[in-house]
Amino acid sequence: MEKMSRVTTALSSNTISGKTMFCHLDAPANAISVCRDASQVVVAGRNIFKIYTIEEEQFVEKLNLRVGRKPSLNFSCADVMWHQMEENLLATAATNGAVVTWNLGKPSRNKQDQLFTEHKRTVNKVCFHPTEVYMLLSGSQDGLMKCFDLRKKESVSTFSGQSESVRDVQFSMKDFTFAASFENGNVQLWDIRRPDRYERMFTAHTGPVFCCDWHPDDRGWLATGGRDKMVKVWDMTTNRAKEIYCVQTIASVARVKWRPEKRFHLATCSMMVDHNIYVWDIRRPFIPFATFEEHKDVTTGIVWRHQHDPYFLLSGSKDSTLYQHMFKDATRPVDKANPEGLCFGLMGDLAFAAKESLINSDTNRKPYPGGDRRNPLFFFKKTDPTEQFAHVSSALTIYQTGLDSNNMDWFVSTAQRYLLTGKPFAELCDHNAKVARELKRPQVSTTWTMLRIMFSDPANLPAAGLNHSLSKLGSLPLMNSFSLKEMGSGLASESRLERGKGDSRQDNIHLETGNSHISNNNEENEETEGSDGPAECMFGDAELDDDDLYSMDHENQAEEQEYTLPQEGFQLRHEIVDNPSAPEHFQQDKADSPHVSGNEAEVPCLTPIESFSLISISQPLFTHHLPASFFCPIVREMLSYYAEQGDVQMAVSVLIVLGEKIRREIDDLTQEHWYMSYIDMLQRFELWNVSNEVIKLSTCSAITCLNQTSTTLHINCSNCKRPMSSKGWMCDRCHQCASICAVCHHVVKGLFVWCQGCSHGGHLEHIMNWLKSSAHCPAGCGHMCEYT
Amino acid sequence: MRHAVASAQNVENTSIAVTDLFKICNHCERLRKKDLGVRIPRPLGNGPSRFIPEKEILQVSKVDSRTQSIFEDAFAALGRLDNISLVMGFHPQYLESFLRTQHYLLQMDGPLPLHYRHYIGIMAAARHQCSYLVNLHVNDFLQVGGDAKWLNGLGEAPQKLQQLGELNKILAHRPWLITKEHMEALLKAEEHSWSLAELIHAVVLLTHYHSLASFTFGCGITPEIHCDGGHTFRPPSLSQYCVCDIANGNGHANQHDDQLDDQDMCGEVEVLMERMKQLQECRDDEEASQEEMATRFEREKTESMLVVTSEDEECVPSRDISRHFEDPSYGYKDFSRRGEHVPTFRAQDYSWEDHGYSLVNRLYPDVGQMLDEKFQMAYNLTYNTMATHKDVDTSMLRRAIWNYIHCMFGIRYDDYDYGEINQLLDRSFKIYIKTMVCSPEKTTKRMYESFWRQFQHSEKVHVNLLLMEARMQAELLYALRAITRYMT
């Protein structure tokens, strides 16, 4: 330290130049550090400790600090730091617990200057004070941080975190505080002058916090990265450390470094698995701003080449290379990301998000009257000239299918009313056909009826079929021209109904990330008036969806064909299911009975006589000559057809009702797929009972095991109202039996039934017996208990 | 689940009823006479452990509520309370973490099918000829629908599992030889290949059962009553001893010997404590040179080689178990042998906390967390007691044991002075550790008794837990490092 002199010149960024380049090291690097004038870099690792000069075209090895015949463990570095004021001074943290300083001004080959062996365990981090020349801080696995004065032989103060190993220490830029991150997830703030206790401590991550970094300009912003794959930015200026940004990465975060001159940018690299270096804009935490993908093994050290130049990044890696990355050569993941999103809602609504420019460029806008049904929200973005993300804001458009949300009612009531088991096959089919017909789904209804005919036991069918049709005269259309007619007319009326609801409601929501505020002024309103432009794309027939054009006349003018195509876009609506086959029926319908219109069509068509005649025709056709297996391929195709059309409900219901008759015809994966889709839909409609019944009735092992999982029911203690963790009947905390039978006064360990009025109850059996003799509560509370 | 909990109490009730019918052996408190003509199996073993007198082990009915509830949960989850859990019941905090991990590995969501998991457990335990674990998991394996044919030998199992045999073998005995080629062979084997997630699951299972086998032998766990070798139908002998006394050499005479020994060795604990104190104090004064430190590790490594493991008896693996693995002659070879040089594994370059955890948690979510908790629990567990002394900081001793085991596997901590090991661990203890970790099937009762004679059984179990976890971590580190290398 003889010739220490302060270097104060800050180079302007334009003196640095270079290109993306790399050089091979002899051994994996653990850490790198750059000298103040950005001309040299030191690389340290277990078996390497070298200084390279950074030239225009290449790295040139300047000095090997690892000297001696048999280098001691003091050379095995976990971390290295180049002093930012004194260009000859370096410090390393050794894996054996030593803190070593090196003076490059020494004339001898061995540049080792001082050796501090006060730590008992590996030292993870060393850090020079940014302005005080002689102050060095170290953090070690033994849980201690030590502050060294380089003019003295030993540490001047020791900070005990009273928690686990220290992973990182960082001096704050301007004052005497430093931050330390710990293996147990804590971050502590210390004043260097007060070694007795920390000023502040908070838990930043679950699991170790591997790194932290103070913002170079914003005082009080601290970025931390942890094993939990998160980078968090904390505002330390307030009383409590406040998390202001959080970036979720894909692997544990080993290093984090703020990008110079860019307020919201920071660079990270990961500890394991992922080898890339990411630069994030913390306001946009879901996609990296830039990526450097050069390394073949994990990156262990990253450093910005110059503290005022944001375009050069140096990195060292376990793959034994040292890289200089140019920012202009970085990969920009945002360019490859798909900027559009599309999703169907439960009721058939459609949400569509796209770049704002895309939406706005739509010239086909029309004014949208009837503003009462729209509720536009504008998340408005202030354009920042320095902002480099190309498309930060996007517009979200929601298309609604109908005025009233009951267009999925058919699904719900079908699910609830269908019988899938518990009766003879023919009755199930009849019942389901009836349900479908009542819900105005004639094709489905007919399918059920056909199934009954096809698969009923030939011996029993004549009697059963006959009896049945007799008992339900006129209500069960079988297969003949009349039923086709009925189907056609039914469809027509439905389609018209659908037209009635067919206007679309559009909400334009402009979203943007980062700092945003909501404004709601009229000019912006106009901008989005024309959002039915995209709607046209969706519906193919734009005028149908425009409110102002809608009138009753349309019903008559519209050609049937027009309905069929556009509506295919909506898979969830049953109309689509029927439509593709509809046109031919329509033709027939028109040809046969042009007078038919509206719902009355059914009634005149179905007279008892017709039904009778039908049976007499159909029975000889199917019952005696053809075995049930003959129909299997047809039924299989029919099921696939329904599933393809989005009516997976029909496919699954038929599958369950037919059971063994059809199961072998369809491969297991397809079945499983159908079941999963149907169960998923049922659960989204909160039809838990139906979904559970379907699970129970399914024969796929992958499905039946669904209701074997998460069968635990968590309950709270009736005394202390806290959750009971270990046992269902005894509370750990208040040591009371939580559920005591009001009749026998014993603990109920099995089924417990209670009155919801007075919340007294007991063993199911006891309560049942009790209620036979008395209507009052057995606990004597006087409540007239009600059980369902 | 509530019903299962209730039945735990029923068990107690029936045991009371049984005692009315039978007399009880006054030494081991076991049933002695029966005259009803029903062939009732009697347990052969004398309590859950051969090494620990039954009366030392916690009685299920007398434990504190916390242990009780852990036992109940274990019973509810498995339908049994195995002897391992009973012995671990000395350390309920650890037991809880152990059972949670094991339950997750075997029963909860994971990439491998249930019967594979048990079969891998059988493979791993069989590598150490641990009939106890093999029997236990043969039952479980059949219960979850495993094909009984597989049990005839690894050759009958699917190709996929057969390939795992090699990894099993190396991992159990010489984990430092694992390379990324081994992993590659498993991961790229056409239609029999393993996925990364499956491989991690398998590796965790293998290491878990290798080390659990160590524990089983180290604590002399006796077979469960329902397993082979766990019961007998022979009538009890007519003398005042019951069969168990003779079979296990657990008679009165033996106990008398112990007491004599105790008097001889009475200063042992004090000496150990004195040494710890000295090390604590003088560490700052005399700083060993770097060369000295390096040689100390080498010395400890070579010395661990010289520790003779096998006592006199040669353990022949019973045919029954050896069929689950191939190449029975493959055993532990000392890490530092002349001729083959394997580079030392630097703990700082690949540690569990930084690297292993991330890899496991990435491919098999939640398990990394559980293992992490379990390792920490084992490493940090202390009651601040040593034998009869209270308020002792045992961290040094625990670290010495942990690092000694890692040293035997060639894992070196730069920041540890391996001279401490020599000071703290005496020869008989080293023999025990080495045997238990490297060839657990050779552990004998005499070894168990001859180290740390004044310490309590619970403390010896504690040591066993340390050994087991340290071994598991060492194996895991080698395997995970190989996988990481494969991935990069």
- Residues A744-759 pLDDT 10s: 888 777 777 878 777 7
Tell whether B6 lies on the interface with A, counting CB pairs under 8 A: yes
Say whether B415 and A275 touch across the interface (CB within 8 A). Answer: no
Q: Write the pLDDT tens digit of every residue in B65-74.
A: 777 788 877 7
Model pLDDT, residue B34: 45
Average pLDDT over residues A512-531: 41
Q: Write the pLDDT tens digit of every residue in A14-61.
A: 466 778 888 998 888 999 999 888 889 999 988 889 999 988 888 998
Say whether B349 and A70 touch across the interface (CB within 8 A). Answer: no
Q: Where in chain A is the domain with CATH 2.130.10.10?
A: 21-216+300-326
Let me know: does B458 contact B201? Beta carbons within 8 Å.
Answer: no
User: Which among B285, B292, B354, B364 is the top mutation candidate for probing chain A, defined by the most A β-carbons within 10 Å of its own β-carbon?
Assistant: B354
Say whether A117 and B484 touch across the interface (CB within 8 A). Answer: no
Q: Write the pLDDT tens digit of every residue in A309-368.
A: 888 999 999 888 999 999 888 888 888 877 788 887 777 777 887 777 666 654 444 444
Say whether A73 and B294 touch across the interface (CB within 8 A). Answer: yes
Say whether A271 and B73 touch across the interface (CB within 8 A). Answer: no
Rounded to whole angstroms, how far apart are CA atoms B372 and A252? Answer: 15
Say whether B358 and A120 touch across the interface (CB within 8 A). Answer: no
Say whether A46 and B291 touch across the interface (CB within 8 A). Answer: no
Model pLDDT, residue B290: 57
Nearest CA in chain B to A708: B108
Cα separation values, B429 from A99, B215, B259, Å: 35, 15, 19
Contacts of B145 in chain A (CB under 8 A): none
pLDDT at position B207 over 80:
yes
Look at phi and psi of residue A273 and say left if phi exceeds 0, alpha if psi is from -120 to 50, else beta.
left
User: Which among B114, B180, B348 is the top mutation candidate for probing chain A, defined by the most A β-carbons within 10 Å of its own β-carbon?
Assistant: B348
B:85-124 residues touching chain A, CB 8 A cutoff: none
Higher pLDDT: A252 or B30? It is A252
B:256-285 residues touching chain A, CB 8 A cutoff: 283
What is the secondary structure of B219-283 as a DSSP string?
Answer: TTBPPPTTSTTSEE-SPPPSSSS-HHHHHHT-SHHHHHHHHHHHHHTTTHHHHHHHHHHHHHHHT
| A605-609, A774-778, B252-256 — most confident range | A774-778
Look at phi and psi of residue B326 and say left if phi exceeds 0, alpha if psi is from -120 to 50, else beta.
beta
Model pLDDT, residue A258: 93
Contacts of A271 in chain B (CB under 8 A): 354-355, 358
Q: Where in chain B is the domain with CATH 1.20.1290.10?
A: 80-223
Contacts of A97 in chain B (CB under 8 A): 414-415
Tell whether B54 lies on the interface with A, counting CB pairs under 8 A: no
Contacts of A96 in chain B (CB under 8 A): 290, 293, 414-415
Give the model's confidence band at A696: pLDDT under 50 very low, under 70 low, under 90 confident, else very high. confident
Q: Write the pLDDT tens digit of every residue in A598-608.
A: 444 343 434 34
Contacts of A319 in chain B (CB under 8 A): 488
From B8-12, B194-198, B349-353, the region with the lowest mean pLDDT = B8-12
CB within 8 A of A404, min separation 6: which ones? A501
Q: Write the pLDDT tens digit of every residue in B166-192.
A: 888 888 888 888 888 888 888 887 778
Average pLDDT over residues B119-126: 88
Mean pLDDT across chain A:
73
Rounded to whole angstroms, how far apart are CA atoms A624 and A620? Answer: 6
Q: Which of A94, A210, A712 sits opposite B1 (nearest CB)?
A: A712
Could you tell me how many CB contacts below 8 A there are between chain A and chain B?
91
**Nearest-neighbour CA in chain B from A69: distance (Å):** 12
Q: Which of A76, A273, A318 sits opposite B358 (nearest CB)?
A: A273
Tokens of A459: 């011996």
Cα separation values, A382 from A392, A511, A513, A518, Å: 11, 12, 11, 11
Cα separation values, A150 from A44, A103, A156, A506, B227, Å: 21, 11, 10, 69, 68
Average pLDDT over residues A546-572: 42
Q: Which of A46, A272, A749 sits opposite B346 (nearest CB)?
A: A46
CB within 8 A of A590, min separation 6: which ones? none
Give residue for tokens 């057969």.
B162
Model pLDDT, residue B326: 56
Tell whether B362 lies on the interface with A, counting CB pairs under 8 A: yes
pLDDT at position B467 over 70:
yes
Contacts of B348 in chain A (CB under 8 A): 46, 76, 78, 95, 122
Contacts of B4 in chain A (CB under 8 A): none
Give the model's confidence band at A582: pLDDT under 50 very low, under 70 low, under 90 confident, else very high. very low
Give the model's confidence band at B292: pLDDT under 50 very low, under 70 low, under 90 confident, else very high. low
Say whether A712 and B355 touch across the interface (CB within 8 A). Answer: no
Say whether A122 and B348 touch across the interface (CB within 8 A). Answer: yes
**Nearest-neighbour CA in chain A from B188: distance (Å):** 19
CATH number of A21-216+300-326: 2.130.10.10
CB within 8 A of B100, min separation 6: which ones? B370
Tokens of A465: 């079929």
Q: Which of B2, B293, B346 sits opposite A749 (nearest CB)?
A: B2
Give the model's confidence band at A547: pLDDT under 50 very low, under 70 low, under 90 confident, else very high. very low
CA pseudo-torsion sign B68, B73, B77, B79: positive
pLDDT at position B253 over 60:
no
Residue among B25, B28, B130, B438 flagged as catalytic: B130
Model pLDDT, residue A496: 40
What residue type is B124 in one-letter code? Answer: A
CATH topology of domain B80-223: AhpD-like (1.20.1290)
Say whether A729 and B2 touch across the interface (CB within 8 A). Answer: yes
Q: Which of A535, A510, A506 is nearest to A521 (CA)?
A: A510
Give residue for tokens 């009762």.
B445
What residue type is B198 in one-letter code? Answer: E
Cα separation values, A633 from A428, A429, A625, A662, B305, Å: 22, 19, 17, 9, 72
pLDDT at position A519 over 50:
no
Nearest CA in chain A to B69: A726
Average pLDDT over residues B129-133: 83
What is the secondary structure of A40-56 as a DSSP string?
Answer: EEEEE-SS-EEEEEE-S
Say whether B414 and A70 touch across the interface (CB within 8 A). Answer: no
User: Which among B71, B358, B361, B366 is the top mutation candidate for probing chain A, defined by the most A β-carbons within 10 Å of its own β-carbon?
Assistant: B358
Cα separation values, A574 from A464, A640, A649, Å: 31, 15, 10
Tell whether B287 lies on the interface with A, counting CB pairs under 8 A: yes
Give the model's confidence band at B280: pLDDT under 50 very low, under 70 low, under 90 confident, else very high. low
CB within 8 A of A704, min separation 6: which ones? A695, A696, A698
From A156-170, A259-273, B221-235, the region with the lowest mean pLDDT = B221-235
Rounded to whole angstroms, how far apart are CA atoms A98 and A76? Answer: 10
Give the model's confidence band at B232: pLDDT under 50 very low, under 70 low, under 90 confident, else very high. low
Model pLDDT, residue B333: 62
Tell whether B363 lies on the interface with A, counting CB pairs under 8 A: no
Q: How far is CA B161 from the centre of its chain?
A: 23
Half-sphere CA count of A539, side-chain side, radius 13 A: 25
Contacts of A95 in chain B (CB under 8 A): 346, 348, 414-415
Nearest CA in chain B to A123: B415
Separation of first and last alpha carbons in chain B: 45
Contacts of B415 in chain A (CB under 8 A): 95-97, 119-122, 141
SS3 content of chain A, % helix, strand, coil (to 5): 30, 25, 45
Crossing angle for the helix pair B2-21 and B65-78, nearest 10 degrees? 100
Give the model's confidence band at A735: pLDDT under 50 very low, under 70 low, under 90 confident, else very high. low
pTM (predicted TM-score): 0.65
Separation of first and last alpha carbons in chain A: 89
Crossing angle for the helix pair B180-187 and B457-487, nearest 10 degrees? 70
Higher pLDDT: B302 or B406? It is B406
Say whether A70 and B291 touch across the interface (CB within 8 A). Answer: yes
Let me know: does B434 contact B335? Beta carbons within 8 Å.
Answer: no
Q: Which of A584, A600, B257 is nearest to A592 (CA)?
A: A584
Q: Which of A46, A208, A272 sits opposite B349 (nearest CB)?
A: A46
Nearest CA in chain B to A121: B415
**Nearest-neighbour CA in chain B from A454: distance (Å):** 39
Active site residue B130: yes
Radius of gyration of chain A (CA): 38
Model pLDDT, residue A712: 66
Q: Which of B72, B283, B415 sits opposite A95 (nearest CB)?
A: B415
pLDDT at position A372 over 70:
no
CB within 8 A of B55, min separation 6: which ones? B29, B47
Model pLDDT, residue A471: 39
Model pLDDT, residue A616: 44
Average pLDDT over residues A498-502: 39
CB within 8 A of A618, min separation 6: which ones? A453, A478, A479, A480
Say whether B484 and A273 touch across the interface (CB within 8 A). Answer: yes
